[in-house]
A and B are shown apart, each in its own frame.
Chain A
Amino acid sequence: MSITKTTTGVVETTKTNGGFTGAAANYIDERTSISTAVKELGRKIFPDHWSFLLGEVALYSFVIILLSGTFLTFFFSASMAPVHYEGSYVPLKGVEMSAAMSSSLNISFDIRGGLLMRQVHHWAALLFVASIGLHMLRIYFTGAFRKPRELNWVIGFILFILAMAEGFTGYSLPDDLLSGNGLRIIDGMVKGIPLIGTWISFLLFGGEFPGEAIVGRLYSLHILLLPAIIIALIAMHLLFVVVHKHTQYPGAGRTNQNVVGYPVLPVYAAKAGGFFFIVFGVVMLIASLFTINPIWNYGPYDPSPVSAGTQPDWYIGFADGALRLIPPGLEFVWLDRTWSFNILIPLISLGLFILVVLIYPFIEAWVTGDKREHHILDRPRNAPTRTAIGAAGVTFYAALWSTASSDIIATHFHVTMEGVIHACQFATIVGPFIAFFVAKRVCLALQKKDREIVLHGYESGRIVRLPGGEYIEVHQPVDEYERWKLVSYSDYKPLMIRPNDQGKITTGQRLRGGLSRWFFEDRIVPVTTTELEQSHGDHH
């Protein structure tokens, strides 16, 4: 604007100063005072790192799901009333099925763009949950859940659970053979809960499975209740990100008091906006080239057939795997009731697993006793026990997950089904311990290497003979930027157990002390300034 003024030499009045955009912005601002918000948000700084975009991928796939899902609701009929299919797919012509299945088939074959939209919806759903999972792993392994972000971890994790619920309810809607089989497994799990199970199942299905109510009910949950909660929680999740400011990786000039990166406007907003279209493009490409959930192969639901290779979508796989792992003979009658421990054990262990993940930030905060705010991320190696716990958790989950495909593994790798199951049982129970040990040792070794590099620099491979005849290898000192990254991390020592006011040591204190020792007894302390100076002295 100032350039225009000087070149044209015409002094314009303030009213027409910014042209149409300026006038419009002024008009809106005078009525909404939005400039404060824009000033605040537009100058918000976001650090640049690829792993910070994973949450965005989840958000964008959710938007894609909303758009494609809205299209699908125009044509889907959530009714289990029996009809005879009269659409254009020949091998199902005249077959009796529910209106839900028939309308899903019509979306696939007789509505323009319907099949593409179905596939976009389903692929985007798989991507949604997968990107949440990856995002969560990034948060975990970099310690981004520490104060002040514990609550946002909880919100995010609830979003992950809700996304799975959304996925499962959606998977059940077409009322094809696969979705009916999935519902039957859920029905079985519910019925396996002692005392209340059967009642809950009848309540859920409006009578004996499958009944005529479940699709309509799941539809209400799928398009109304669950998305509403998800949107509300996403809003809170993002609000917290703005309030807390974004975390950043350690590096020169980055502290707990600042954020180094780009402002939202214009660079970051442009990048993020463009990235939405990239994600949309990838989903579209996959959806137009690859079949997903071919309901026409599965046919309408009928309680008697079950297809080989019947699996849930990937995100429910861990629960299916847990059921497959349970050895036989755990069901017995006691007190005139059937106790299905073959179902209760997986239910309880998965419940505990989910609970531990949900409250992990609080557990760690309690063990470390650290009340400081953390805005600088940990490199995973600098928190060896946390990283090892994460590795154990990932191994446990992955073992359950791969068990869900035990039959496919058996046929495609030419091994026996029993062998696969036993291997997976081993991997589920022993695997986490191995992973814990290996990950912790690897972290400590990497920390030692970092320390070595800081103190003595890189080995240059150049051998020099000193005048006295001594041979030394010249070490190239690490540069200051790199050194910042290597030395700046928070170090914890095992807590000392201290008696309280009454002079007693409580059990809680003992437990905390024990956990703290387990967390921090093996540790590599960061290089101190004194050590650094001494090491320089050695070499000069």
Chain B
Amino acid sequence: MTKTNTPKPARVRKSGRRSPLASVALIAIGLLFTGGAYALFSTSTASAQTDASSQQTIGEGQKLFASNCATCHGLGAAGTGSGPSLIGVGAASVDFQVGTGRMPMQMDGPQAEKKAVVFTDEQIAALAAYVASLAPGPAIPDARYLDAQGDSAKGAELFRINCAMCHNVAGAGGALTEGKFAPALDGVSAQHIYEAMITGPQSMPVFNDMNISPESKRDIITYLKYLENNPSPGGYALGSLGPVSEGLFLWIFGLGAIVGLTVWITAKSN
């Protein structure tokens, strides 16, 4: 796009101060810079993940755990009457539960609900490292499965077969028994979606790698990100809830407008 567009203004402003290639160069530099920064950043997170297992991080995590989580999960994370054992749940589980704000739990209820995140990323990483050090468990997923560049058609099919019965075909969420519910998936990060699949938080079943391969999980994430980034082609989606919201809209706004117009059309002119 930039290449095809730049020659035109260049011909017009031959005597200009800037070289016609200046904008191209500028964009190239910009891209290089952001790309480089991104690469640097991702390597730095990767290295952070490798240090995460260092004894110091684990120690920090243990301290955080003792002061914030041990009341329910027990000092050794072995669980108490009010919270399950966390031995073997893995770093992915901690990252999901704490990273979405579900843990620490605000109150007892049908299920822990998403809320504002309490800890910083470093603290979450430390907690995850501590819990992961107790026993092997699902690790934080590799970034290559989270890029949302997979096959969305395959992802959509897998989503409809495995996920839609609770989360709705458009990921709008749905009801479960006894006040529990499958949350809406709009705005959930790729990493958290992946972690939910491998750890099965709360009522959700575990979809391990034998069940849905990491590549297929990437496809599912691709589909969900497609839904998130592409607005409904038909106009405002009414929450993607299906015929209930359509019917409600028609009765209230559609028929409401029509009845208002019938009143208007039969009103006596003054």
The reply to whether the CB of B177 lies closer than 8 angstroms to some CB of chain A is yes
**Distance of A134 Cα from B157 Cα, bound (Å):** 40
Contact assessment for B233 and A115 in the assembled complex, using a CB-CB cutoff below 8 Å: yes
- Contact: A127 with B255, CB < 8 Å? yes
Specify which of A134, A294, A305 is in contact with B237 (CB 8 Å cutoff). Answer: A294
Interface presence of A418 (CB below 8 A): yes
Q: Which residues of A contact B255 (CB under 8 A)?
A: 127, 130-131, 134
Q: Which of B116-131 contact A (CB under 8 A)?
A: none
Residues B240-257 near A (CB distance < 8 A): 240-251, 253-255, 257
Instruction: Report whether B177 and A290 are in contact in the complex, using a CB–CB cutoff of 8 Å.
Output: no
Q: Counting CB contacts under 8 A, is B265 at the interface?
A: yes
Smallest CB separation, A140 vs chain B (Å): 17
Query: Once the chains bind, are A50 and B170 in contact (CB under 8 Å)?
Result: no
Once A and B bind, how many residue pairs between them come within 8 Å at the CB atom? 200
Interface pick from B83-91, B92-100, B148-156: B148-156
| In contact, B226 and A309 (Cβ under 8 angstroms) | no
Is B173 among interface residues, defined by CB-CB distance under 8 A?
Answer: yes
Closest to A118 in B: B234
- Which residues in A have their C-beta under 8 angstroms from that of B259? 50, 54, 134
| Interface-centre pick from A95, A134, A408, A417 (highest chain B CB count, 10 A) | A408
- Chain A residues 36 to 62 lying within 8 A of chain B, measured CB to CB, are 48-54, 57
Complexed CA–CA distance, A299 and B268 (Å): 51
Within the complex, what minimum Cβ distance (angstroms) separates A110 from chain B?
11
In the complex, the answer to whether A307 meets B181 with C-beta atoms within 8 Å is no
Query: Are the C-beta atoms of B246 and A293 separated by less than 8 Å?
Result: yes
Question: Is A17's CB within 8 Å of the partner chain B?
Answer: no
Nearest B residue (CB) for A119: B234
Q: Are A411 and B157 in contact (CB under 8 A)?
A: no
A289 adjacent to B236 (CB under 8 Å)? yes
Taking the complex as formed, is B27 at the interface, i.e. its CB lies under 8 A from any CB of chain A? no
B164 touches A308 (CB 8 A): yes
Is the CB of A163 closer than 8 A to any CB of chain B?
Answer: no
- Find out whether the CB atom of B243 lies under 8 angstroms from the CB atom of A308: no
Tell me whether B75 is interfacial, beta carbon within 8 Å: no
Instruction: Indicate which residue in A49, A90, A93, A283 contacts B266 across the interface (CB closer than 8 Å).
Output: A49
On chain A, which size bracket covers the interface?
35 or more
Chain A residues with Cβ below 8 Å from B234 are: 108, 115, 119, 290-292, 294
| Chain B, Cβ-Cβ closest to A404 | B244
Which of A91, A109, A291 sits near B152, CB closer than 8 Å?
A91
Report B181-202 residues with CB < 8 Å from chain A CB: 181-182
| A311 CA to B261 CA, complexed, in Å | 30
Task: State the main secondary structure of chain B at its contact with A.
Answer: helix
Interface centre among A49, A90, A94, A419 (most CB of B within 10 A): A90
> Least Cβ distance of B142 to chain A in Å?
24
Whether a CB of chain B sits under 8 angstroms from the CB of A220 is no
Would A294 and B232 count as touching, CB distance under 8 A?
A: yes
The reply to whether A411 and B173 contact each other, CB–CB distance below 8 Å, is yes
Q: Is the CB of B250 within 8 A of A127?
A: yes
User: In whole angstroms, how far apart are the Cα atoms of A408 and B241 in the complex?
Assistant: 8
A177 within 8 A of partner (CB):
yes
CA distance A115 to B232 in the complex (A): 12
Q: Please judge, given known A-B contacts A90-B152, A130-B251, A294-B240, whether A308 and B261 are in contact too, CB under 8 Å.
A: no
Which residues on the A side are within 8 Å of B248 (C-beta)? 314
In the complex formed, the residue of B with least CB distance to A320 is B243
B253 neighbours in A (Cβ, 8 Å) = 286
A407 touches B250 (CB 8 A): no
Asked whether B233 lies within 8 Å of A307 as measured between CB atoms, the reply is: no
Contact A91 B153 (CB under 8 A): yes
Residues of B within 8 A of A305 (CB): 160-161, 164-165
B242 and A309 form a contact (CB under 8 A):
yes
CB-CB under 8 A for A408 and B244, given A50-B259, A290-B235, A294-B237: yes
The distance from the CB of A248 to the nearest CB of chain B, in whole angstroms, is 13
Known: A296-B233, A309-B241, A414-B179. A304 touches B254 (CB 8 A): no
The docked-state distance in angstroms from the alpha carbon of A119 to that of B253 is 16
B176, closest chain A residue (CB): A417
| In the assembled complex, B175 has its CB within 8 A of some CB on chain A | yes
A349 contacts chain B at the CB level, 8 A cutoff: no
B178 touches A127 (CB 8 A): no
Does B1 interact with chain A (Cβ within 8 Å)? no
Across-interface contacts of B164 in A (CB, < 8 A): 177, 305-308
Q: Which stretch (A142-150, A193-201, A274-282) binds chain B?
A: A274-282
> Which of A52, A57, A275, A307 makes the CB contact (< 8 A) with B160?
A307
Q: In the assembled complex, which residues on chain A have CB atoms less than 8 Å from the CB atom of B249?
A: 286, 290
Nearest residue, chain A, Cβ from B247 = A314
Q: Give the nearest-CB partner of A130 in chain B.
A: B255
Residues of the A chain whose Cβ atoms lie less than 8 Å from the Cβ of B247: 126, 313-314, 317
Q: Which residue of A lies closest to B223 (CB)?
A: A91
Residues on B with C-beta less than 8 A from A271 are 265
Inter-chain contact B165/A307, CB cutoff 8 Å: yes
Query: Is B66 positioned at the interface, with any CB of A under 8 Å from its CB?
Result: no
B53 to chain A, nearest CB (A): 38
- Given the complex, which residues of A lie within 8 Å of B263, measured CB to CB? 50
A172 at the B interface (CB under 8 A):
no
Q: Judge if A377 is at the interface, Cβ distance under 8 Å.
A: no
Q: Which of B175, B236, B240, B255 gathers most chain A CB within 10 Å?
A: B175
A297 in the interface (beta carbon within 8 A): yes
For B152, what are the chain A residues with a Cβ–Cβ distance below 8 Å? 90-91
Q: Once the chains bind, are B244 and A309 in contact (CB under 8 Å)?
A: yes
Q: Give the chain B neighbours of A89 by CB distance below 8 A.
A: 233
Question: A35 within 8 Å of B by Cβ?
Answer: no
- Check: A424 CB closer than 8 A to any chain B CB: no
Q: Are A309 and B179 in contact (CB under 8 A)?
A: no
Indicate if B166 sits at the interface (CB-CB under 8 A).
yes
Given A92-B156, A305-B165, A308-B175, residue A282 in contact with residue B254 (CB < 8 A): yes
Residue of A whose beta carbon sits closest to that of B173:
A411
* Nearest-neighbor residue (CB-CB) of B157 within chain A: A95
Is A531 positioned at the interface, with any CB of B under 8 Å from its CB? no
Give Cα A314–Cα B172 distance, bound, in whole angstroms: 19
Minimal Cβ-Cβ distance residue in A for B238: A290
A293 to B250, CA, bound (A): 13
Nearest opposing residue in chain B for A47, CB measure:
B266
How far, in angstroms, from A132 to B182 measured CA to CA in the complex?
37
Residue of B nearest to A410 (CB): B175
A sample of 12 more A-B contacts (CB under 8 A), given A115-B233, A178-B242, is: A49-B266, A90-B152, A93-B153, A94-B153, A275-B262, A278-B261, A282-B257, A283-B254, A307-B164, A308-B182, A317-B247, A407-B174
Which A positions have Cβ atoms within 8 angstroms of B?
48-54, 57, 89-95, 108-109, 115, 119, 123, 126-127, 130-131, 134, 177-178, 271, 274-275, 278-279, 282-283, 286, 288-294, 296-299, 302, 304-314, 317, 404-408, 410-411, 414-419
Q: List 6 A-B contacts (CB under 8 A).
A: A54-B259, A127-B255, A130-B255, A282-B257, A291-B238, A309-B168
Q: Which 6 A-B pairs have the closest CB atoms?
A: A308-B174, A314-B247, A291-B234, A407-B175, A416-B179, A50-B262
